[in-house]
Amino acid sequence: MDRFDQTMSQVVRSVDTAMDHWQGNGARAAQGRAEMEHQAGNHLAAGLLAVTDALNAGQGGIGAARDAVLHLVTTAESRGMTVADDGTVTAPAAPAGIPTTVAAIAAVDPIMATMALAYLEQQAEAEMLTVQIHGGLIAVDAADQAAAAAVAAAIGALAGAAAASSPGQGVDAAAAPYVNGSTPLPTDPAALNALWRTFSAADKDALFAKDSNLGNRDGIPVADRDHYNRLNLPTLTASAQATVDQLTAQHPDWAQGKNIPTQRSDVDFAWKYYDSWHTKLQAAQDKLSGFEAVDKQVAGRSDRFLMQIDDGGRGAIAINNPDTAPNVTTFVPGTGTKLPDIAKDMGRSETMLGQAIASGAPADSSVITWYGYNAPPEIPDAAHIHWADAGAPRLDSFQDGLRVTHDGAPSYNVVLGHSYGTTVIGDAAAGGHHLAADNVVLLASPGADADHAGDLHLDGIPQDQVGQHIFATKAANDPVPLASHLSDLSVAGGPAGAVANLIGEAVTGHTGGPFGIDPTSSDFGGQVFTSDPGPTGPWYYLGYNPSVHSNYWDVGPSGPCASLKNIGDIMAGNTGAVK
């Protein structure tokens, strides 16, 4: 730090000396540049100091926690006890003939009883030391995690200062409040878009240096979102890899499945410590796998646009640029959606785009695979609406962003959901909310958070005509849509009703239909289109087949299945051809 400060001071002195004999425009430019570099140097010095402070604080926290654990280990060993690598303390074995239970002590002579009580006290002390050491190990891990986070944040701030202070990165005065953080960027997509168009390239780069998640903001043109998200993806990947490496280094044996503690009780600290460590490792590995899967989809592909990527498990990839495409479809998948598996849904998007083009859509139409919400991880989790409640505002904002960034005449926009994704779509269009879409497609819906199509709202569509713009289908042998009208099935009673309840519980984790009625019901008031029934299932599913839930994109020897053909017509705008 001292050498850095000395060098920056020497730069200023040298320029000041030159100014004594140098006049004119060139001199003024040089002096201005020197002042800019001096200011940049101050920012970098502050960043370096923050890194140093984080390292020193981390060393102190980890050292204190480590010293506490070592003191307990020393105490145990000084009393003849042994301490295992996982922190478990074991007292010396009982002398031969010494009773080891309180009940047996009463039957021996006083001397033997005294020895026995001393042994039991030593056992109790060993157990107490075990608890304390395990707690200390957890404290060491917590201090290590806190230090790593503080250092990472400081390094990130330093990197941002370096990027924003690079030559040629002058920020316009109007953009400065947004860059320095005194004024936040608008959250409304239209307002952000209007502001964004006033920024220079240097302004945008400086904003990215300040906030690496800049490309996730709705209202920024797609090409810019893709640019900054691609820049951020390697950083996110490296961070996830560093976390995986750090956790693996903490317990390389556990990472290889070796020496894993066995759970002996609900208060087993060794097991709890392992379980906490394993949960963190699994989460880090999932993040890393997700970023790697996204990279495989966009690397070297000029026809792919990375519209969202963050460390919260969310992302969005467009095939072709939605800002220039005449037809744009946003595909919202359902339960189990997570970034490591995005290739599967990208394949479905490619299939739908191909069918839409075959149905007359322009070749530069766009399909977006939208993993912009955290989907229910497992089938039982899909029984709850809170996943949709959290995802709906994100979808609403995303669709608004597509409208305001589009070039030229408005595009024809479709929002298509599958399974729980249809619930997210319904949630985004219900309860007074409006969804920016010309048509909506609901595939195998467990309910769209509405009892009637008229409960949904689409921007620009008269309310009495919304039902004409909501298209729904389900395969006859798909059990998932049973969730929306399960109570109707079960009231019949008897074996069929009981089995129906079991199916619903297996599919949704509960009985009843909390997300509204079946959108393919005539009572819902939407446009129902045909799907192939799919193969039947075993008798205990009443003929329903869970595998059919994934068959809506099938292409066989004779061509696309009925649902895919209809999807292509809707995406192309040929709604009159839908059957």
With helix as H, strand as E and coil as C, how does 247-293 read? HHHHCHHHHCCCCCCCCCCCCCHHHHHHHHHHHHHHHHHHHHHHHHH
**406 within 8 A of 326, measured Cβ to Cβ:** no
**Candidate from 32-36, 235-239, 255-259, 281-285 with smallest mean pLDDT:** 32-36
Considering the chain, what percentage of its residues have pLDDT values greater than 70?
Answer: 77
Query: Residue-wise over 77-103: b if at least 16 C-beta within 10 A, else e?
Result: eeeebebeebbbbebeeeeeebbeeee
The ranges assigned to domains in the chain are: 1-167, 314-480+516-534+547-574
Amino acid at position 569, single letter? D
Given this model, what pLDDT does residue 248 score?
92
Confidence of residue 343 (pLDDT cuts 50, 70, 90): very high
Whether the per-residue pLDDT at 304 is higher than 60: the answer is yes
pLDDT at 291 over 80: yes
Cα→Cα distances 566→327, 438, 486, 555, 578, Å: 16, 16, 27, 13, 5
Tell me the per-residue pLDDT of 504-533, one tens digit each, with 9 for 90 and over. 544 443 333 578 889 999 999 999 999 999
Q: Report pLDDT digits (tens) over 255-283.
A: 999 888 887 776 677 888 888 899 999 99
CATH T-level assignment (fold) for domain 314-480+516-534+547-574: Rossmann fold (3.40.50)
Predicted local distance difference test score (pLDDT) of residue 59: 75
User: Is pLDDT larger for residue 65 or for residue 97?
Assistant: 65
At 113 the pLDDT is 63
pLDDT digits (tens, 9 = 90+) for 365-419: 999 999 999 999 888 888 889 999 999 999 999 999 999 999 999 999 999 999 9
Q: How far apart are the first and last CA of the chain?
A: 73
